[in-house]
Amino acid sequence: MYGGGNTFEGIKTDSIAQEDPVKLAEFEARIERGEKIEPTDWMPALYRKQLIRMIEQHAHSEIIGALPEGTWITRAPGFKRKISLMAKVQDEVGHGQLLYSAAETLGKTREQMIDDLITGKSKYSNIFNYPAFTWADSCFISWLVDAGAIVNQLANAKGSYGPYCRALDRICAEESFHLKYGHHCVIYLATGTQKQRDMFQEAINRWWTPMMHFFGPSDKISAHTEVLMRWKVKMSSNDDMRNQFLDMYVPKIWELGFTIPDENLKKNPETGRWDYTEPDWEEFKRVINGDGPCNKERLEVRRIAEERGRWVRQALKKAQTKYTVPLA
């Protein structure tokens, strides 16, 4: 579950000038033709760096994203929900596994990435720094955060880096289960008792701002990324993705009789795009930088999992097996 967030903040393009112009032209021509880049191909340093940064953030967002919904894994109501939520959270871990593998093909080990996550060096989707207070919050995540992630991931699956695209094809196929499962849970809350309806309305009220943050800062204030668009690293602007999400899901939320806590939210008949109140981008920055309601807990849980598992991994190490960069 990844919406792009702040992946491309503060990039420097100076290094491109030092690249071999012939190789750079061949590389750009390959992308222009619609061919994918594979791990053994020559690539500009900036391309490698930004891809690692993006895929790594995406992978972290999966394993950290497993935690808010995991809050309800032992309490899911009824057999059907119990098994489904287990499978759903498991998929998030699985997505992490696939994405770390894709990032590894670019030369950074999984362990280094996880260390950078735990020490706060690399980021993950901000939305997972918010708490899942009730069962309904987990339903909000399964339906709408996953829906948002699908918008971003479908766009990225058309990107230029082969291993990332392969991982995303697999992930998007699995996400269709998440989306349907989440919607199914929400339909049951919406058509259920008043208490159930209230639970979901409260979840919307809590999660709307982080959901709007999910796709990253408004285009007006976010970094310019033309070169990354040309290299098909970044596939869609933050505002375009946000708009696409609103277009697909606001009517579905309204249809169920729920309200969204933004009185300016409406589709503008002239532009065909959604008008809304800009979410508080200062809050976004504050939370990204560590000051959200759950940042500490999320990283602590991940750190403790790594530490508790260390004796296992060390016991498994064998002299004859060595770490190797994956092929594809």
Partner 1 sequence: MNETALKELLYKIADDQLILGHRNSEWTGFGPLLEEDIAFSSMAQDKVGQSHALYQMLQTLGEKDPDTVAFMRNADQFHNCILVELPNGEYDFSLIRHFLYDTAEAIRFEMLSESSYQPLADISKKIRAELRYHTLHANTWVKQLGSATEESISRLQRSLDSAMPYALGMFEESPFEKDLISSKIFGGEQALKERWIKKIEAVISQTQLRLPDWKALQPVTGGRTGKHSEYLQPLLDEMSEVFKIDPTAEW
Partner 2 sequence: MNSLDPRVNRLPVVGKPGEISPKAPLDQLGTFEVFVQPKEGKPFQHEGIVHAPDVEMAFVLAKEAFTRRFMCVSLYVCDTRNVYVSPLTEATANAYDLISDTVEKTGGKTSFEIYHLPKRGKQHVHAGTVQAGSPQEAMAEAKRMFKNDKTVYNIWAVRTSDIRFTSAEEKDLWLTLSEKKFRDASDYKGGDKLKEFLERNNA
Structure tokens, 223:
């970094």
Query: Pattern of binders to partner 2 over 40-69, x per CB under 8 A?
Result: xx-------------------------x--
- How many residues touch partner 2 under the rule CB under 8 A: the total is 80
Compute the distance between CA of residue 121 and CA of residue 132 in angstroms, rounded to an integer: 25
State the Cα–Cα distance between residues 81 and 219, nearest whole angstrom: 39
In whole angstroms, the minimum distance from the beta carbon of 67 to partner 2 comes to 7
Choice between 134 and 243, CB closer to partner 2: 134
Nearest of 57, 27, 58 to residue 40 by alpha carbon: 27
Binding status of residue 140 toward partner 1 by CB under 8 A: no
Question: Is residue 121 a contact point for partner 2 (CB under 8 A)?
Answer: no
Question: Does 258 sit near partner 2 (CB under 8 A)?
Answer: no
Q: What are phi and psi of 43, to 5 degrees?
A: -150, 150
The candidate with the shortest Cα–Cα distance to 186, out of 244, 148, 128, 138, is: 138
Instruction: State in angstroms the smallest separation of the CB of 301 from partner 1.
Output: 7
Question: Which residues ranging from 215 to 244 are in contact with partner 2 (CB under 8 A)?
Answer: none
- By a kind-dependent CB cut-off of 5 to 8 A, residue 184 interacts, out of partner 1, partner 2, none, with partner 2
Binding partner at 133 among partner 2, partner 1, none, C-beta below 5 to 8 Å by kind: partner 2
- Is residue 256 a contact point for partner 1 (CB under 8 A)? no
Minimum gap (Å) between residue 237 Cβ and partner 1: 32
- Does the protein bind partner 2 through residue 131 (CB under 8 A)? yes
| Long-range contacts of residues 181-187, Cβ cutoff 8 Å, at least 24 apart | 181/84, 181/88, 181/142, 182/139, 182/140, 182/141, 182/142, 182/143, 182/144, 182/146, 182/147, 183/143, 183/252, 185/81, 185/138, 185/139, 185/142, 185/143, 186/139, 186/140, 186/143, 186/256, 187/256
Instruction: Report DSSP state, residue 44.
Output: -
Residues 71-130 that bind partner 1 (CB under 8 A): 72-79, 81-83, 86-87, 89-90, 92-94, 96-97, 100, 110
Q: Give the residue, chosen from 17, 316, 319, 327, that forms a contact with partner 1 under the rule CB under 8 A.
A: 316
Q: Which does 38 bind (CB under 5 to 8 A by kind): partner 2, partner 1, none?
A: partner 2
CB of 21 to partner 2, least distance (A): 18
Could you tell me if 136 and 199 are in contact, meaning their C-beta atoms sit under 8 angstroms apart? yes
The distance of Cα 122 from the centroid of its chain, to the nearest Å, equals: 14
Query: For the chain, percent helix, then strand, then coil, each to nearest 5?
Result: 65, 0, 35
As given in the structure block, the two tokens for residue 60 are 């972290």
Pick from 61, 66, 69, 127: which is nearest to 99 by CA? 61
Q: Which of 24, 187, 229, 250 binds partner 2 (CB under 8 A)?
A: 187
Largest separation between any pair of C-alpha atoms in the chain: 67
Kindly tell me which residue out of 177, 188, 258, 281 binds partner 1, with binding defined by CB under 8 A. 188
CB of 77 to partner 1, least distance (A): 4
Residue 58: both structure tokens together: 């995406």
The residues of the shown chain that bind partner 1, judged by CB under 8 A, are 63, 66-67, 70, 72-79, 81-83, 86-87, 89-90, 92-94, 96-97, 100, 110, 135, 185, 188-189, 192-193, 195-196, 301, 304-305, 308-316
